[in-house]
Structure 1
Amino acid sequence: MKYIIGILVGAVIGYITNWLAIKMLFRPHEEKRIFGIKVPFTPGLIPKERKRIAKSVGEAIGAHLLTKETILNSLCSDKIKEALSGWIKGEVKKLETSDSTLEENLKSLLNGHYEEIKGDLEKNITAMVVEEVKGNEFKNKVTSIVRKEIGTLLNNSPKAVLSSQAYENIRLNLINNLNESMENGAIKENILNLISGKLEGIKENTLEEIIPPTVIGNLKVYMYNKRHEIGKYIQGALKEEKYEIKIKGIISNILSTQLNPMIAMFVNSDTIYNKIVGGASEMLETEETLVDIVLILNEVLTKVTKTKVIDILENIPASNEEQENLIGEKLWEFLLSNVKEHKVINTLIEGVESDLSNSDTLGAVFNKAGINLEEELVNFVENKLDMFLESYGLESSISKFLTSGLQRILNTEMKFIFQKEGRDLSSKISAITLDLYSTFVENKASDFIELFNISKVVEEKINEFEVTYAEEIILEIASKELSAITWLGAVLGAVMGILTPVLSALY
């Protein structure tokens, strides 16, 4: 019996001792006092040393468990990459069949900040474009492009231009437009207005001052070259009936007034006429006479060019307005009879085409005319560009253009952005994302992990736990082990209960 009692007492004592020791790890949760005197072993070990324990646990986890290398290895694992790739492909596949617009998805992503971000984006893009357009680099690029294109054009052969379909169309349009202008009277009205405005200013000038000297000189040369035709014309005129009657009348008048009546009776005016015309015709066949006639005509022309315009107009039986209209009408009739039939315009065009064909390049043509077309066009473009860039509505115009373009993009449905036959967009986006993810993990993740400070996070989290919650966690994790320790105390107590009477009996 004494052995049984010793075993039971030892077992109970061992069990209670270990159970109490385990309880004292957590309880009491707070310090206890009796009559102001602190009760020993209060609070329990864990509540009392919670901060130290939390710091030790945090340092242990940060230094040995969740190290920077461990986390980086986990982030670079194939499992993480496969999960990320699968998620991206799934999201892209959804977008490939989505009827939602880009704007709707951005609104969902940005919540209430969408309009603000969109407005700021439009303003910033507009400001950047305006700044870029107004910069010297943009103007220099435009000027360079214009100069290059003009240089290429001027280096073309005139023959190639004249043989092109574009030039033929321009030529036909020019003639057709001239015809239309002739028919609707626009040119006639312009000629009459031009004469009305300019005639008053040249009345005191002589014809010599108005008509270029080269024209008068060419006219004199023309008369000399046509001297034989002039002689034949005079011969023919002398034999015409109207001139014959006038000449015979003059002869009869001279005979009746200048000669004695007796002598006049024996002189026949027809005979004298025939003698005069015959002699004149013979003289007109000689080169000397023809040259003399041309010299006389040249002297007459010279005297005519010395005449003032006002003297000519005063001898016209009409008012100033009628004179101007008469001159305009005559000029119009001349243009209408020549230009309308394309004779003048065709001659002019053919002359220009002939001159162009004799030049190697279009640039050479303009250089002969003293025109630096390249510089003129470049300066024109630069001036127009400067006017445009300095205009008041430039920024507003660019803003409207960009806003309209951006809105068209935002209104595009996602399926039209992501869908394209033969293109595996989901795999491409997934590959790009994984590359970015890998680059981030390799180059920047370690910096973020250091900023994360795992030891400190674990320490702070443990300190936030209530003691009861920490007790529940530990008991949940080690309940079997703690229970085993408690029963181990009972076993050891029972063993001690057996050994005590045995040893007493031996000694």
Structure 2
Amino acid sequence: MYVFGIFVIMIAIGALIGAVTNHFAIKMLFRPYKAHYIFGKRVPFTPGLIPKRRDELARQMGQMVVNHLLTTEGIKKRLASDGVKTEALQLGERLLAHFSKSPSTLEETLEKIGIANPAQQADQFVNKWTDEKLSALLSTYENEPLKELIPIEAQEKLKEKIPMVSGYILKRAVSYFESDEGKNRLGHMIDDFLKERGMLGSMVQMFLGNSSLIDRVQPEIIKFLKNGETARLLTDLLENEWDKLKEFTFKEADEKWNLKTLIMNVKEKLMIRFSLEPFFARSTGSYVSMIEQNIKERLPEIFDRLLEEAGRRLDDILKRLQLEDIVKEQVDNFPVERLEEMVLSISKREFKMITYLGGLLGGIIGAVQALFVILI
């Protein structure tokens, strides 16, 4: 009875020690979460193994993800698979169908993605861009003669139109002097002319009479304006002036007629006339519908190129993403309590078995010790 009691006690003590030791060993993987100090000295085995090695664990996990899990070869292989291409095509077709039916205007669609007042911004951009380009262009060619700036075809066309301009001017002049307004104006001009001649003018006006003088002068002026020689004279004058004008540099012409301001004003009028606002007022669906069929036919080619380009740039993309640092940062910020909870929830049964195994081994050791004690 005495020997049996020794066996039982030694086995129970050994099993208890083994089970408790393994239980605490498992707990010490995570606990304590923080280091404890007594009289300024850190208590041994604090914090637990995983909290203590968290930085190294995070670094190793980052390297494992980059070097063994999310490798460029694996991702490239996945991108090149038929499954990814099929899913990409289906996604593209769904997006096309969705946007082709969208009732939202292009402006509303752009505002949804954070671009405020796109029509106004587009007009401002085009206006600023044209201002800069025109200013640079005018500054570059300000010392060039106009004949070098105006295309030859345009110069020839303008010269061909000079006789037509002359005829139009003379025709309008005849119509004016034949009208009552023109006749009255001619009368005032004759009066002013005679007044400037003093006594002689008064004598002429007294003998001829104002009305008689106008009636005589008006037909002569109209006759002069309708004369073919007058048309040729005016045409020659305009052609001479046009030849002189072509020799002016742009800077000289600008100083005389303020051409830069004129060009800028014309540009402003055109910008108002051709504002981009109507373009943004149309629905997004109307624009997508215009190119939907063409894009749908080219989707396989487009996605092949996109996936191929993504594969070529994958190394650079992964380096820029710095996945290793991201994983390390996430592990560093992950609560140890949550990590312990996850591990225990997954391996609770296995940890219990380890505890029981410790108890079994402890019990065996206790039995062996009891046997030695009895034999001795």
TM-score (norm 1): 0.52
- Matched letter for residue 69 of structure 2: L
Deviations 1:146-173 (A, max 9, x none): 44234443787x9xx99xxxx7xx97x8
User: In the alignment, does 2:281 pair up with 1:411?
Assistant: yes
After TM superposition, the structure 1 = structure 2 runs for residues 84-233 of structure 1, keeping only pairs within 5 Å, are 85-110=89-114, 114-115=116-117, 122-135=123-136, 136=138, 146-153=150-157, 181=176, 184-198=179-193
Structure 2: 5+ residue runs without aligned partners? none
Q: Which amino acid aligns with 2:53?
A: E
Asked if the contact 2:145–2:248 (Cα under 8 Å) also holds between the matched residues in 1, the reply is: no
Separation in 1 of the partners of 2:87 and 2:244? Answer: 65
CA distance in 2, matches of 1:188, 1:405: 47
Q: Measure the CA separation in 1 of the matches of 2:105 and 2:304.
A: 26
Cα distance change on mapping 1:68 and 1:477 into 2, 3 Å? farther
Structure 2 vs 1, CA of residues 183 and 400 (structure 1 numbering), >3 Å: closer, same or farther?
Answer: closer
**Deviations along 1:61-108, whole A, 9 cap, x unmatched?**
444434455556666766556555544443333222222112212222
Look up the match of 1:50. Answer: 54
Is this contact kept in 1: 2:36–2:46, CA < 8 A? Answer: yes
Counterpart-to-counterpart distance in 2, 1:324 and 1:403? 52
Q: Structure 1 residue 405: deviation in Å?
A: 0.9
* Residue in structure 2 matched with residue 246 of structure 1 by the alignment: none
Q: Contact conserved, 1:151 with 1:374, CA < 8 A, in 2?
A: no
Q: Distance in 1 between matches of 2:327 and 2:294?
A: 44
Q: Quick one: structure 1 residues 196 and 57, their matched pair in 2 at CA, closer, same or farther if it must change by over 3 Å?
A: same
The answer to whether the 8 Å contact 1:61/1:455 transfers is: yes
User: Would you say the 8 A contact 2:16–2:359 is kept in 1?
Assistant: yes
Within the alignment, does 1:330 sit opposite 2:332 as a pair?
Answer: no
Partner of 1:389: 260
Give the whole-Å Cα distance in 1 for the aligned partners of 2:291 and 2:60: 60
Post-superposition shift, 1:131?
2.5
**Is residue 30–residue 51 contact of structure 2 (8 Å, CA) maintained in 1?**
yes
Cα displacement (A) at 1:18: 3.1
Asked if the contact 2:79–2:307 (Cα under 8 Å) also holds between the matched residues in 1, the reply is no
Q: CA deviation at 1:319?
A: 0.6
Distance in 1, Cα, partners of 2:73 & 2:55: 27
Out of 176, 198, 206, the residue aligned to residue 319 of structure 1 is 206
Contact kept in structure 1, 2:146 and 2:249, CA below 8 Å = no
- Gap change, CA 1:379 and 1:84, over 3 Å in 2: farther
Partner of 2:290, secondary structure, is: coil
2:102–2:283: 8 Å Cα contact kept in structure 1? yes
| Aligned-residue offset at 1:22 | 1.9
Aligned residue pairs total 366
2:342 alignment counterpart: 473
Distance 1:178 1:128, change over 3 A: closer
1:134 corresponds to which letter in structure 2? Answer: S
Aligned pairs (5 A) from 1:438-453:
439=309, 442-443=312-313, 445-453=314-322
Q: CA RMSD in A?
A: 5.6
Question: Per-residue displacement from partner, 1:404-430 (whole Å, max 9, x unpaired)?
Answer: 713222222212222227743456589
**C-alpha contact (below 8 Å) 1:133/1:389 kept by paired residues:** no
> 2:323 corresponds to which residue?
454
Corresponding letter in the other structure for 2:112 = S
Does structure 2 conserve the Cα–Cα contact (< 8 Å) formed by 1:130 and 1:395? no
Could you tell me whether the CA contact under 8 Å between 1:199 and 1:324 is conserved in 2? Answer: no
- Match of 2:153, SS? helix
8 Å CA contact retained: 1:100, 1:413: yes
Name the TM-score, length of structure 2 as normaliser. 0.66
Flag the structure with larger Rg.
1
CA distance in 2, matches of 1:23, 1:126: 71
Distance in 2 (CA, whole Å) between partners of 1:378 and 1:413 is 52
SS in 2 for 1:473: helix
CA distance in structure 1 between the aligned counterparts of 2:19 and 2:28, rounded to whole angstroms: 14
Question: In structure 2, how many angstroms separate the alpha carbons of the residues matched to 1:467 and 1:202?
Answer: 115
Partners of 1:503 and 1:141 lie apart in 2 by 121
Q: Distance in 2 between matches of 1:53 and 1:423?
A: 53
| Structure 2 letter corresponding to 1:407 | E
Partner Cα distance (2:29, 2:292) in 1 = 68
**How is 1:269-308 mapped onto 2 (pairs within 5 angstroms)?**
none
Contact kept? 1:147, 1:378, Cα under 8 Å = no
1:376 alignment counterpart: 245
Distance verdict in 2 for CA 1:407–1:144, change over 3 Å: farther
C-alpha distance 403-325 of structure 1, shift in aligned 2 (>3 A): closer
Cα distance in 2 for residues equivalent to 1:376 and 1:40 = 100
Whole-Å separation in 1 of the counterparts to 2:45 and 2:127: 74
Q: What is the SS of the residue equivalent to 1:100?
A: coil
Partners of 2:325 and 2:158 lie apart in 1 by 77
Q: Is the 8 A contact 1:366 1:373 kept in 2?
A: no
* Conserved? CA contact 2:80–2:307, under 8 Å: no
Cα offset for 1:334?
6.3
Q: Is the contact between residue 51 and residue 336 of structure 2 (CA under 8 Å) also seen in structure 1?
A: yes
- Could you say if the C-alpha distance between residues 479 and 373 of structure 1 is closer, same or farther in structure 2, counting changes exceeding 3 Å? same
Query: Deviation at 1:440?
Result: 5.9
SS at match of 1:455: helix
Q: What is the distance in 2 between the residues matched to 1:38 and 1:373?
A: 100
Indicate if the aligned counterparts of 1:150 and 1:374 stay in contact, CA closer than 8 A: no
Give SS of 2:328's match.
helix
Q: CA deviation at 1:16?
A: 4.4
29 and 130 in structure 1: CA distance in 2 versus 1, 3 angstrom threshold: closer
